[in-house]
Amino acid sequence: MKKYLGIELGSTRIKAVLIDEQYAPIVSGEYSWESTFLGGYWTYSLDDVQTGVQTAYAALAKNYREKTGEILTALDGLGVSAMMHGYLAFDKNDTLLVPFRTWRNTTTEQSAAALTELFGFNIPQRWSIAHLYQAVLGSEPHIGDISYLTTLSGYVHSRLTGEKVLGVGDASGMFPVSNDGYDVEMAGKFRELTGLDITKIMPQVLKAGENAGTLTAEGAKWIDPSGSLIHGAPACPPEGDAGTGMVATNSIAAHTGNVSAGTSVFAMLVLEKPLSMLYTEVDMVTTPTGLPVAMIHCNSCTSDLDAWVKLLGEAATLMGAEFDKTTLYNALFGIALKGEQDGGGLLNYNYYSGEPITELTYGRPLFTRLPDSRLSLADFMRVQLYSCIATLKIGMDILIEKEQVRLDLLTGHGGFFKVPKVGQTIMADVLNIPVAVMESAGEGGAWGIALLSAYMSHSEKQSLEEFLSVVFSEATCIRTPPNEKNKDGINRFIQRYLYGLDIERTAVRVLN
């Protein structure tokens, strides 16, 4: 049996998945973690990165031994996926120069705006190049010592293989790409502006199917300190969570799209032609094969929702109720479908951090209502779910209404869809687009990067699109169309949401 390992470092968990030659998951393991706010930045320590990967892999290996009676020693391939963007800067000795600055930081407004104007290309705040230029503008002393700049997936991949490379999808969130590499003209403009040559300090760009090195003896020990894992397995190019989400939902062809909804929410729409103009709300990235993708990214999604569910669960426990977490979520999500179409006049902002789409530098979770609003549990939960994707809708409307982007189906994955049918029903209604959820997408990006690892042995004979058509040929997919009856009520909620943004802006200004 062939075995391919996929590891994904998400914002709340690190997951490892092992798949077989039929591309079905064999076993998995995971590790929960959270970012910390340190020195003005959201960050994760690199010690936690190693601990998390080792813990997730150890759980996977233990589950494999219990399931098969064998010790996991050899792999036929492996790959690493992680949160995109951010800032990991190293010197010539591979020493980290400043703590990892993640995608969640919104401290680069000045640099992102300046680079967008310079390039004539939207540079979002979370992109690596925005973090780099902001450090230049701030005259941070480490700038002169930078030898290598990468993302989280690129860092872990380098620890496993010794190779400083990156998949084109993840690379396109560091710096704009064209013709299979970083855009030469823009790289030249940045060099003239700062004296820094990004083509020398950023990873080499690779496409899906290309060889990205092999697991070294040191890398095998890094992931498996027990010494059972043998080195030598080929590694696919490391990718960002957006790219592996596209793979895990078979959304890499034109007119397809996927949405990942968890701590953050982002939609990826594969384009057949460039957009007519620049939009600061729309990121232009690529699929793992280099096709253009319009990305709508929102920093906050389910964190505020989870906090409210936890609070309501505490209230139920206080009254003597006994239940598990799944039962609690199923009950509260289910009642949301019984709420009024417009959410009963309630209003919620789920912003844990800043949100560039609505021009907010910082976030302040906020629930408010008018004296005559209908405060019921059903309406409250419906508005909680609405607020998770309201900002996403603002960005999506640009693509669907202004640019007339054709989207036949949006395939969802992530925690927002864990309760059967509820999340996808709400999202289909709010976005006015059919939404599907695949049973196979439950393993998420870890499964997606494992598939990219398996694809390496097929890449000379098949395109990635052809390969995935085989993988998904028998996949079970639940499709939910938008309900036209809810359209007017949702439009009233969105208008209320847009008008009420001044309340959120005031909260940001006043509540420090």
Provide the percentage of residues in the chain whose pLDDT is more than 90.
Answer: 86
The whole-angstrom separation of Cα 182 and Cα 199 is 7
Q: Concatenated DSSP letters for 178-225?
A: ETTEE-HHHHHHHHHHHS--HHHHSPEEE-TTS---B--HHHHHHH-T
* Cβ neighbours for 474, distance < 8 A, ≥ 6 positions apart: none
Residue 187 scores a pLDDT above 90: yes
Provide the percentage of residues in the chain whose pLDDT is more than 70.
Answer: 99
Tokens (6 digits) for 165: 């490379």
Percentages helix, strand, coil for the chain (3-state, rounded to 5) are 40, 20, 40
CATH number of 4-237: 3.30.420.40
- pLDDT tens by residue, 404-427: 998 888 998 888 998 999 999 999
The whole-angstrom separation of Cα 226 and Cα 478 is 42
Q: Quick one: pLDDT at residue 484?
A: 93
Residue 185 scores a pLDDT above 60: yes
- pLDDT tens by residue, 444-465: 789 999 999 999 999 999 999 9
In the chain, what are the domain boundaries? 4-237, 303-404+484-510
**What is the average pLDDT value for the chain, to the nearest integer?**
94
Average the pLDDT over 120-135 and give the result: 96
Q: Quick one: pLDDT at residue 440?
A: 54
- pLDDT tens by residue, 336-360: 999 999 999 999 999 998 898 999 9
* Cβ neighbours for 470, distance < 8 A, ≥ 6 positions apart: none
**Inter-CA distances, 124 with 5, 119, 121, 173, 459, Å:** 32, 12, 10, 9, 32
Q: Quick one: pLDDT at residue 19?
A: 96
pTM of the entire structure?
A: 0.84
- pLDDT tens by residue, 292-319: 999 999 999 999 999 999 999 999 999 9
The whole-angstrom separation of Cα 378 and Cα 336 is 5
Q: Quick one: pLDDT at residue 273?
A: 82
Q: Quick one: pLDDT at residue 496?
A: 97
Work out the pLDDT band at 380, boundaries 50, 70, 90.
very high
- pLDDT tens by residue, 154-175: 999 999 999 999 999 999 999 9
Burial of 56 (0-12, 13-18, 19+ CB in 10 A): buried
Residue 106 scores a pLDDT above 90: no
- pLDDT tens by residue, 16-68: 999 999 999 999 999 999 999 999 999 999 999 999 999 999 999 999 999 99
Residue 442 scores a pLDDT above 70: no
